[in-house]
Amino acid sequence: MQGQPGKTKVIIAGGGTAGWMTAAALGKVLGSVLDITLVESDVIGTVGVGEATIPTLLTYNQLLGIDEAMMMKAVGGTFKLGIAFENWTDVDHRYVHSFGITGRDHWTAGFQQFWGRGRAMGIAEDFGHYCLELMAGERERFAHLPNLGLNYAYHIDSSAYAAFLRKMAESHGVIRREGMIDHVSRDGETGDLTALTLTDGTVLEGDFFVDCTGFRALLLGETLGVGYEDWTHWLPCDRAIAVQTPSIGPPRPYTRSIAHGAGWRWQIPLQHRTGNGTVFCSRYMSEEEARQKLLDDIDGEPLNEPRVIRFRTGSRRQHWSRNCVGIGLSSGFIEPLESTSIHLIQRSIMRMMRMFPHGGVSTSDVAEFNAQTAYEVEHIRDFIILHYHLTNRSDTPFWRHCRTMEIPDNLCHRMKLFEETGRVFKANDELFAENSWTQVMLGQGLLPRSYHPIADVMSDEEVDRFLKHIRSNVDRTVDGLPSHADYLARFCPSTLGQID
């Protein structure tokens, strides 16, 4: 058996973002009591298109003691303040889902209730005008403010991020083994995984296994037989095509999500290039049609051959089975519309580390891990479904399907509650906060029919002053920010070449 006697032997199957995020965290935090080996093959490519993140990644980086400027230089990163959704509500309509908060809440009611009163009075501006992050993004400005006064995430080169984390993991004792997995061994009595055999005959024995083998789910799915819950009846897109182009103009501090007749395409600005891609439903658009449309729509000549990625939205029925945890695509896949893939990797890593077994796997830990993960991914799933279902578009068969499809009961309740009262209640540990649901539901055209009576406690003059004060504070802060491009040039100029 490989490794040091007395240490729990952890085998991570697969590299990429999921594998190396797992390895770096385990190595940094538990490396002194674990013997960690990561197996990956240079022959097998990673999906590697996830380049947009959400603010929770800052927590992961901070926990690992990652220097932000150093990381951003290494991954050609830019800052992200939100996502611009174009053509989603209707053709030629645009709105922004930004980070942070909008306006100022009262303990009885969210800001949208006071905005609703102002709207009834005819004095309220667009809801987004009261959000600092949204307005900074629209004016392409950015800076670090005290006490995280400007909430942000990153656009990163995910392959470079994995390479950055690999160096960190190896510095904390993680061993990388190059090779393809030929066979997975199980204990004849318990059914637990015991070893991976590589094609060159090397046998890697382990006590605990992490499946980062992507859509294949070699350990969790193929070997342990954990089933898959298919969500394509709610999220019908099943293909993506990715391509990179040179940077043209200064990078915007937001992601663009541009809907088309059978799905949507993304545009993610890095310092050294732009990540582009299209997500579509093969029932309504062929791969060749999607490829050609993507090439017609991008700015600049492609730097690589467009790559087709086939997927099926859904979730494993268990994310931890026996002595194996699935992290990343092996655990399930919700399309990248709201940049949640790396977040779910991070959450699974943190959850696994909190419940890491000592002296044997606890069935109670396994049950709790699976329950928490299922709860989280189902709330994210519903948020993504919202974008497709709540639309005025009926110009193509794809959008007519999305608009009329049945949706989960919880999502239906959220939409009715907001439409009738303007209220949003965040569930425990739910990723997307009240402001996110409010921005997207308003952006997709759902306007509340009433507002909370607390807003009527204020006089007309007080409501007017309240809204103008918030707007002026936002404008004053944005006016004081440098351009996003200038800030990048000073804080974290990329060390990556023009072409990776």
Q: For residue 5, what are the contacts with CB-CB under 8 A and spacing of at least 6?
A: none
Contact 482, 142 (CB under 8 A): yes
Predicted local distance difference test score (pLDDT) of residue 500: 40
Please tell me the total count of domains within the chain: 2
Q: Is the pLDDT of residue 3 over 60?
A: no
Predicted local distance difference test score (pLDDT) of residue 35: 97
Q: Is residue 15 part of a domain?
A: yes
Identify whether residues 220 and 271 lie together within a single domain.
no
Please compute the mean of the pLDDT values over residues 157-181 and round it to a whole number. Answer: 95
Identify whether residues 334 and 289 lie together within a single domain.
no
Greater confidence, 398 or 428? 398
Task: Locate 191 and state its tokens.
Answer: 């059914």
Asked which of 310, 337, 372 is the last residue of a domain, the reply is 310
CA-wise closest residue to 312 among 406, 239, 262, 379: 239
Predicted local distance difference test score (pLDDT) of residue 497: 61
Task: Locate 319 and state its tokens.
Answer: 């994310």
Write out the residue range of the structural domain in which residue 269 sits.
239-310
> Could you give the CA distance from residue 427 to residue 437 in angstroms, rounded to a whole number?
12
In the three-class reduction of DSSP (H, G, I as helix; E, B as strand; rest coil), residue 184 is classed as strand
Q: Is the pLDDT of residue 56 over 70?
A: yes
Identify whether residues 216 and 339 lie together within a single domain.
yes
Q: Is residue 481 part of a domain?
A: no
The string of DSSP letters for 97-163 reads EESS--S--BTTB-HHHHHHHHHHHT----GGGG-HHHHHHHTTB----GGG-S--EEE--HHHHHH
The pLDDT > 70 percentage for the chain reads 97
Identify whether residues 161 and 225 lie together within a single domain.
yes
In degrees, to the nearest 5, what angle opens at C-alpha 454 toward C-alphas 452 and 455?
80
Identify whether residues 250 and 306 lie together within a single domain.
yes
Identify whether residues 320 and 257 lie together within a single domain.
no
Distances (CA, A) of 218 to 38, 351, 413: 15, 21, 38
Averaged pLDDT score across all residues of the chain: 94
Task: Locate 476 and state its tokens.
Answer: 């004053």
Contact 381, 334 (CB under 8 A): yes
Greater confidence, 300 or 38? 38
Asked which of 298, 332, 361 is the last residue of a domain, the reply is 361
Q: Is residue 60 part of a domain?
A: no
Identify whether residues 163 and 193 lie together within a single domain.
yes
Q: Is residue 219 part of a domain?
A: yes
What is the DSSP pairing of strand 239-246 with strand 273-280? antiparallel
Q: Is residue 113 part of a domain?
A: no
> Could you give the CA distance from residue 156 to residue 142 in angstroms, rounded to a whole number?
16
Q: Is the pLDDT of residue 2 over 90?
A: no
pLDDT-derived band at 179 (thresholds 50, 70, 90) equals very high
Identify whether residues 272 and 336 lie together within a single domain.
no
> Could you give the CA distance from residue 177 to residue 179 in angstroms, rounded to a whole number?
6
Please compute the mean of the pLDDT values over residues 172-189 and round it to a whole number. Answer: 96
Strand order, beta sheet including 34-40: 175-178, 34-40, 8-13, 208-211, 324-326, 320-321
Tens digit of each residue's pLDDT (9 = 90 or more) over 190-230: 999 999 999 999 999 999 999 999 999 999 999 999 999 99
Q: Is the pLDDT of residue 1 over 70?
A: no
Please compute the mean of the pLDDT values over residues 158-184 and round it to a whole number. Answer: 95
The pLDDT > 90 percentage for the chain reads 90
Q: H-helix or E-strand containing 62? A: helix 56-63
Tens digit of each residue's pLDDT (9 = 90 or more) over 366-385: 999 999 999 999 999 999 99
Q: Is the pLDDT of residue 499 over 60?
A: no
Q: Where are the beta strands (DSSP E) in 247-389?
A: 255-260, 263-269, 273-280, 307-310, 314-316, 320-321, 324-326, 332-333
Kindly provide the b/e burial profile for residues 12-43, where b requires at least 16 CB atoms within 10 angstroms of the residue's own CB: bbbbbbbbbbbbbbbbbbbbeebbbbbbbeee
Identify whether residues 203 and 221 lie together within a single domain.
yes
| Range in 37-46, 193-202, 209-218, 311-320 with the lowest mean pLDDT | 37-46
Q: Is the pLDDT of residue 47 over 80?
A: no
Q: Is the pLDDT of residue 46 over 70?
A: no
Angle between helices 409-421 and 434-443 (to 10 degrees): 80
> Could you give the CA distance from residue 453 to residue 356 in angstroms, rounded to a whole number?
48
Tens digit of each residue's pLDDT (9 = 90 or more) over 232-275: 999 999 999 999 999 889 999 999 999 999 999 999 999 999 99
Q: Is residue 210 part of a domain?
A: yes
Tens digit of each residue's pLDDT (9 = 90 or more) over 403-459: 999 999 999 999 999 999 999 998 878 899 999 999 999 999 999 999 999 999 999
Asked which of 291, 310, 329 is the last residue of a domain, the reply is 310
Q: Is residue 194 part of a domain?
A: yes
Identify whether residues 346 and 306 lie together within a single domain.
no
Please tell me which of 4-18, 43-57, 208-222 the model is most confident about, judged by mean pLDDT. 208-222
Q: Is the pLDDT of residue 39 over 80?
A: yes
CA-wise closest residue to 204 among 217, 219, 191, 214: 219
Residue 93 one-letter amino acid: H
Q: Is residue 136 part of a domain?
A: no
Identify whether residues 161 and 46 lie together within a single domain.
yes
Distances (CA, A) of 267 to 105, 159, 257, 481, 486: 33, 17, 7, 24, 21
Residue 499 one-letter amino acid: I
pLDDT-derived band at 358 (thresholds 50, 70, 90) equals confident
CA-wise closest residue to 84 among 269, 296, 240, 249: 269
Q: Which long-range contacts (CB under 8 A, 24 or more apart) does 466-474 make?
A: 466/114, 467/114, 467/115, 467/118, 467/123, 467/124, 467/125, 467/130, 470/103, 470/104, 470/130, 471/125, 471/129, 471/130, 474/129, 474/130, 474/131, 474/132, 474/135
The string of DSSP letters for 69-98 reads HHHHHHHT-EEE-EEEEESSSSTT-EEEEE
Identify whether residues 164 and 228 lie together within a single domain.
yes
What CATH number corresponds to the domain at position 326? 3.50.50.60
Q: H-helix or E-strand containing 337? A: none
